[in-house]
Amino acid sequence: MDEDVLTTLKILIIGESGVGKSSLLLRFTDDTFDPELAATIGVDFKVKTISVDGNKAKLAIWDTAGQERFRTLTPSYYRGAQGVILVYDVTRRDTFVKLDNWLNELETYCTRNDIVKMLVGNKIDKENRDVDRNEGLKFARKHSMLFIEASAKTCDGVQCAFEELVEKIIQTPGLWESESQNRGVKLSSKEEGYGGGGACGGYCSML
Amino acid sequence: MAADSEVSVLPISFPVRFVVAVSLLIAPFSPQPESEVFEITDFTTASEWERFISKIEEVLNDWKLIGISSGKPLEKGVYTTGTWEEKSDEISFADFKFSITHHYLVQEHSDKDGKEELVEDALPLPMQDLLCMNNDFPPRAHCLVRWYGLREFVVIAPAANNDAVLSESKCNLLLSSVSIALGNTGCQVPLFVQIHHKWRRMYVGECQGPGVRTDFEMVHLRKVPNQYNYLSGLLDIFKSKIGCPLTPLPPVSMAIRLTYVLQDWQQYFWPQQPPDIDALVGGEVGGLEFGKLPLGACEDPISELHLATTWPHLSEGTIVENDVYSDLDPIQAPQWSVRVRKADNPQCLLGDFLTEFFKLCRRKESTDEILGRSAFEEEGKEVADITHALSKLTEPAPVPIHKLSVTNMVHSAKKKIRKHRGVDESPLNNEVLNTILLFLFPDAAEKLADGFESRTNTSSGNNPPPESEDYNLFSQFKSAPSDSLTYKLALCLCMINFYHGGVKGVAHLWQEFVLEMRYRWENNYLIPGLANGPPDLRCCLLHQKLQMLNCCIERKKARDEGKRGSMSDRSPGGTSGDAGKGADHSGDNPDKEKEFGKSWESWSDSEEEFFECLSDTEDLKGNGHENGKKGGAKEGNKEPVNLKPEGRLHPHGKLTLLHPGEPLYIPITQEPAPMTEDLLEEQSEVLAKLGTSAEGAHLRARMQSACLLSDMESFKAANPGCCLEDFVRWYSPRDYIEEEVVDEKGNIVIKGELSARMKIPSNMWVEAWETAKPVPARRQKRLFDDTREAEKVLHYLAVQKPADLARHLLPCIIHAAVLKVKEEEALEDISSVKKIIKQIISHSSKVLRFPNPEDKKLEEIIAQIMSVEAVIARARSLKAKFGVEKCENEEEKEDLQRFVNCLLEQPEVSVVGAGRGPAGSIIHKLFLNAQRVSAVPPLDEDLRRSGPAEERRPNTGGAADFPPPAGREVILRTTVPRPAPYSKPLPQRMYSVLTREDFRLAGAFSADTTFF
């Protein structure tokens, strides 16, 4: 079954408590929505195989608890992730303000610096919006992230968010290539300077 | 082929040329279209030869080399600055394979569309190039470019390297094919065939234009006929080859280059001495001390200097050179240029260190196997068997163990005993071992008696400041910070591997190191040189393991001291002190984490409350469950109010408990368990294996709820009478929703409740809350079993083989090497090196970040570092030779520095001011000195070797200052009508090169073919 899977990717979901991380994940993996989803303890884990541009990728998605106290525990699982989804709640400005902390956290605990980051503004179905789309956009641009607004409840943008992220990861070769077992043939990057391999090279005529 | 070495087989001109009259040979690609369509053309009987020719034409067509070649006159030096490219194809004559290659200078096609007016009878471009003097003697170029000054040409050569066209008839056949193909296609690009063995680089060729033809001919001899030693003789042969019917002959222009080679740099000894190993123990001799890597070449990385003195444009008659007199004094030459020949693989220290260390990675022996035999004879159990180390340390030792320094003393004492017995086979001697241990564990020295010179962290001054780019390199390389114990250990092992007993020494030091770790764990001494806190996952695993051990030591120490403290505390104060204590701690506890390790006394008492007694935790668990259930059944989850608060950290400040209205206290909590990356890996695997089902998720949450439960218990203990709402307000504030409500009296009050998800019946939070007993952190079951974890780490360390160790630490070594070359480059300022270092860093950070990088990639990195080291060594060598440092005139010094840098990066550098410039006069002196030294003894030998020709070589002018030229190149050019006086005047050129073992004439003679 796994034979045609190009690679396995580790994806993280982080963000303040109650912004809907687990709901986004549940919508993506099981296409359901539960308004009363229990608060995550520590980390949770789900798997889904998706196909992006004809490439099948198996996603191991780690969902984390947003509570401050759990932050001594969860960052351990950041290790080796290729992509991260950073979620805030568009109806709660404080969850948006805290994004900087989360990025710092990532910086500190992520073992790689080329990890692909996506910013998701969740709960756009709600009426009492507190964070404008442009603000999210601005933040994402400043930190070179992907950006989308979504609603786990109405399903808006969820699939798209994960797909975009995976596509971006796949396009960043150094990020996943070496972890897959069967690597393709690598083209040698031999530098062919003139005189290096030519008939007689550079210093030919003399001595 | 040494037999035919005396005189080349090939005569200067081809005596017979095939007259081509093959009727069948109608080129299918000929530019003139066939006029008669009905005529049947029969190729069925075409010979191999015909097919060969048509194949050549086909290739020329494919490459679009047909027609008039256009281009601008060549600019000066464009052969060096421009890019050369080549295209290849394969053709065969019967079953003999040839490769056909087009070499060309890439030119801008500015006039492609303009198709500048073609002058009716303009000469083909290659013929014009023959006379162009802008690119004589290019420093790097194909030999045909150097010999004929061509910007493009096609070469047909045997495809296999050892194939050769030897017989004269075959050579002629090939040349005829070329001639026919050129004629058929109208291609104006010169076409050469390579004949004879490849190493002789013999080419003949032809270039055709409308009514003109140039023949390229060549002579290659081992021994030079006497007359060709001098200009006069060369002029004679040139004129006779042209056979010009005109008198007087138009003047011949000459370009001459004499090259001199300097091989021995007499008084300029290579500055770097091999490091003195014996002096190492003392410390800093030769830049080599523990904790540093060496850099530099052990031999001169510059082997030769070639000085080319050039007269770019002389006309015939202005200069005389024959067997009795010469006007060619190198000092007077208008142009000087220099190139240096680099030693192929100079032995360099840093490179050797790296390579040797890398070799360790492939050893298979375990530490015991390596040390076993020598240790076996004596106190086997003491040295070889680490598992007994514990008992050894608890045994009565010759020295009391209360001082940290004792470990070192014990080791040396052990060695001394062995020495007295007369068998000292331990790979490291005491002095070296002690120096290293002091270097690694400077805290031992601090507490040492005055007997030793106290050498504290001398190297710390050289470390880049934290937060700098260099300092943070460790996170890119996954090594360890440059001031850490791990990093220093890596450097020491590297040094020992190289100088002190190789793999045996490594095994020995490692064993001592592991013993020291064990000793520190047993005796509650923190390991120095490691950042506080949980293992840094950005560092290598070994570093994480050491940090883990330090965490264990920290906790054990706190516990042990807590026990001692509480025991003494308990008797006077009893329970009454508890309430006050809570308040006391509220002030100092928040800082305690930061102060870790600074001063033991200041914080030890604050930790005393931890883990007093495990056994009653178990008791409480049993009871607590029931209690919890009862409590849960009652609304509000209220605990009995009469409980005394315990384990308070400090008041929350803003919040009060919902029901009693007392201030909400933040409890002292257990720190979560530190983890190394391998543990994490294990744990996430376990968590992942639970699968994605609801049960799996539930189980996963339960597995991770220990921490939550512990926090809840601490919270309950610190806040008697609290409820889940209180806890949630502290722990997950967003799950407590407050609303402004207008009550019946019309006042606005804030009403709060748990969020919907917290209210789900029997969700994990509620469940845990119900289970939780009010137990302060100190009486809870430990979340982190430091004893077990420490033993696991110590075992892990003990079973590491030297090869494992080398793999663990290789990133640190590469890190150190990069810092070293960076530091050294900063002194020299070589831009090319800067660039390569950047590449090395980005390359290594890609390779080293993944577990188990491929050996091949690691080797690449090491090779890159070695090449950088060689460049730096060369720069230093050149600087010393040219006395850059000694130069007093600032401006000249800068010029010299620039000159030296150019020598490193360019194939050939011209000397400003030639022999009279500052660089020139230094070069002159270098030669002069070399000449003086060699002048006395080797006179006879010289005569014998150089033979009669050189014996009579004129000894005038600069000859005394310079050795005889190692190479003489002369280009003669003129434009004369050939073959008849009324023919078109056409370019004629002859290049000659004469070196010690080889003489070559390469002539290009053009003739008007209109009436001939």
pLDDT of A16: 92
The predicted model gives B114-118 an average pLDDT of 49
CB spacing of B846 vs A174 below 8 angstroms: yes
CB spacing of A72 vs B672 below 8 angstroms: yes
* Interface subset of B 900-939, CB within 8 angstroms of A: 907
- How confident is residue A4, by pLDDT bands cut at 50, 70 and 90? confident
Least Cα separation, residue B401 to chain A (angstroms) = 38
Nearest chain B residue (CA) to A19: B734
pLDDT of B601: 37
Kindly state the percentage of chain B with pLDDT values over 70: 73
pLDDT of B376: 40
- Over residues B203-257, the pLDDT tens digits come to 999 999 888 999 999 999 888 888 888 888 888 888 888 887 777 778 889 999 9
DSSP letter at B441?
-
The predicted model gives B521-546 an average pLDDT of 88
User: Per-residue pLDDT for B713 more than 70?
Assistant: yes
- How confident is residue B778, by pLDDT bands cut at 50, 70 and 90? confident
CB spacing of A195 vs B478 below 8 angstroms: no
Whether the CB-CB separation of B474 and B480 falls below 8 Å is answered with: yes
- How confident is residue B412, by pLDDT bands cut at 50, 70 and 90? very low
Least Cα separation, residue A81 to chain B (angstroms) = 12
Question: What is d(CA B312, CA B253) in angstroms, rounded to the nearest whole number?
Answer: 10
* Interface subset of B 683-702, CB within 8 angstroms of A: 684, 687-688, 690, 692, 697, 700-701
- Over residues B54-68, the pLDDT tens digits come to 899 999 999 888 877
Read out DSSP for A34-95? -TTPPPP-SEEEEEEEEEETTEEEEEEEEEE--SGGGGGTGGGGGTT-SEEEEEEETT-HHH
The dihedral sign for the CA sequence B894, B895, B901, B905: positive
DSSP letter at B197?
-
Nearest chain B residue (CA) to A34: B757
pLDDT of B566: 58
Which of the two residues, B848 and B274, has the higher pLDDT score?
A: B848
Question: What is d(CA B534, CA B544) in angstroms, rounded to the nearest whole number?
Answer: 8
Q: What three-state secondary structure class fits B832? A: helix
Whether the CB-CB separation of B707 and B683 falls below 8 Å is answered with: no
What is the rounded average pLDDT for all residues in chain B?
75
Q: Which residues of A touch B707 (CB under 8 A)?
A: 42, 69-70, 73
* CB neighbours of residue B545 within 10 Å: 24
Read out DSSP for B587-642? HHHHHHHHHTTT-HHHHHGGGTTTT--SHHHHHHHHHHHHHHHHHHHSGGGPPPTT
User: Per-residue pLDDT for A198 more than 90?
Assistant: no
User: Is B192 in CB contact (< 8 Å) with chain A?
Assistant: no
User: Per-residue pLDDT for B395 more than 50?
Assistant: no
Q: Which residues of A touch B690 (CB under 8 A)?
A: 45
- How confident is residue A180, by pLDDT bands cut at 50, 70 and 90? very low
| Structure token pair of residue B197 | 């063995």
Least Cα separation, residue B135 to chain A (angstroms) = 15
User: Per-residue pLDDT for B138 more than 70?
Assistant: yes
Q: Which residues of A touch B907 (CB under 8 A)?
A: 202-203
Question: What is d(CA B313, CA B500) in angstroms, rounded to the nearest whole number?
Answer: 62
Which of A67, A69, A200 lies closest to B201 in CB terms?
A: A200
CB spacing of A205 vs B147 below 8 angstroms: yes
Among A11, A55, A5, residue whose Cα is nearest residue A182: A5
User: Per-residue pLDDT for B568 more than 60?
Assistant: no
CB pairs under 8 A between A and B: 134
User: Per-residue pLDDT for B941 more than 50?
Assistant: no
Least Cα separation, residue B538 to chain A (angstroms) = 6
CB spacing of A69 vs B731 below 8 angstroms: yes
User: Per-residue pLDDT for A88 more than 80?
Assistant: yes
Amino acid, single-letter form, for residue B667: P
Q: Which residues of B touch A199 (CB under 8 A)?
A: 101, 142-143, 155, 157, 201
pLDDT of B9: 38
Q: Picking from B130-139, B282-291, B562-571, which range would have the lowest pLDDT averaged per residue?
A: B282-291
Q: Which of B100, B708, B839, B860 to mutate to test the interface with A (most CBs of A within 10 A)?
A: B708
User: Per-residue pLDDT for B321 more than 60?
Assistant: yes
Q: Which residues of A touch B84 (CB under 8 A)?
A: 194-195
Q: Which residues pair with B154 in a beta bridge?
A: B102, B191
Question: What is d(CA A43, CA B686) in angstroms, rounded to the nearest whole number?
Answer: 12
Q: Which residues of A touch B687 (CB under 8 A)?
A: 43, 45
Kindly state the percentage of chain B with pLDDT values over 90: 11
Q: Which residues of A touch B538 (CB under 8 A)?
A: 111
Q: Which residues of A touch B966 (CB under 8 A)?
A: 207
- Over residues B968-1008, the pLDDT tens digits come to 899 999 998 888 888 888 899 999 998 888 899 999 999 98
Among B820, B923, B931, residue whose Cα is nearest residue B338: B923
The predicted model gives B358-379 an average pLDDT of 68
CB spacing of A206 vs B967 below 8 angstroms: yes
Q: Which residues of B touch A205 (CB under 8 A)?
A: 143, 146-147, 969, 993
Which of B705, B734, B993 lies closest to A205 in CB terms?
A: B993
Whether the CB-CB separation of B331 and B357 falls below 8 Å is answered with: no
| Structure token pair of residue B24 | 């069948």
Burial B488-498 (b: 16+ CB within 10 A, else e): bbbbbbbbbbb
Whether the CB-CB separation of B957 and B325 falls below 8 Å is answered with: no
CB spacing of B757 vs A36 below 8 angstroms: yes
pLDDT of B620: 43
Q: What three-state secondary structure class fits B655? A: strand
Least Cα separation, residue A151 to chain B (angstroms) = 18
* Interface subset of B 20-49, CB within 8 angstroms of A: none
Half-sphere exposure of B451 (CA within 13 A, CB side): 4
pLDDT of A36: 81
Least Cα separation, residue A118 to chain B (angstroms) = 23
Which of A39, A73, A77 lies closest to B735 in CB terms?
A: A39
pLDDT of B303: 80
Which of A41, A179, A207 lies closest to B704 in CB terms?
A: A41
Q: Picking from A40-49, B18-27, B646-655, which range would have the lowest pLDDT averaged per residue?
A: B18-27
Instruction: Report the range out of B33-47, B535-549, B657-671 with the highest average pLDDT.
Output: B535-549
Question: What is d(CA B668, CA B497) in angstroms, rounded to the nearest whole number?
Answer: 49
Tell me the C-alpha to C-alpha distance, in Å, between residue B594 and each of B538, B570, B598, B607, B651.
21, 28, 9, 14, 20
The predicted model gives B881-888 an average pLDDT of 76
Q: Which residues of A touch B758 (CB under 8 A)?
A: 39
User: Is B849 in CB contact (< 8 Å) with chain A?
Assistant: yes
pLDDT of B98: 92
Alpha helices (runs of H) in B781-889, residue ranges in sequence order: 786-798, 802-828, 831-848, 855-881
Nearest chain A residue (CA) to B161: A199
User: Is B678 in CB contact (< 8 Å) with chain A?
Assistant: no
CB spacing of A205 vs B758 below 8 angstroms: no
Question: What is d(CA B53, CA B179) in angstroms, rounded to the nearest whole number?
Answer: 9
- Over residues B736-771, the pLDDT tens digits come to 888 877 777 778 777 888 888 888 887 888 888 988
Q: What is the reported pTM?
A: 0.69
* Interface subset of B 384-443, CB within 8 angstroms of A: none
Whether the CB-CB separation of B1 and B197 falls below 8 Å is answered with: yes
Q: Which of B137, B142, B342 to mutate to test the interface with A (most CBs of A within 10 A)?
A: B142
Nearest chain B residue (CA) to A179: B850
Q: Which residues of B touch A17 (CB under 8 A)?
A: 732, 734-735
Helices vs. strands in chain B: H and E counts, helices first: 33, 17
Which of A35, A41, A43 lies closest to B708 in CB terms?
A: A41
Q: Which residues of B touch A179 (CB under 8 A)?
A: 850
Contact partners, residue B863, CB within 8 Å, separation at least 6: none
Whether the CB-CB separation of B256 and B314 falls below 8 Å is answered with: yes
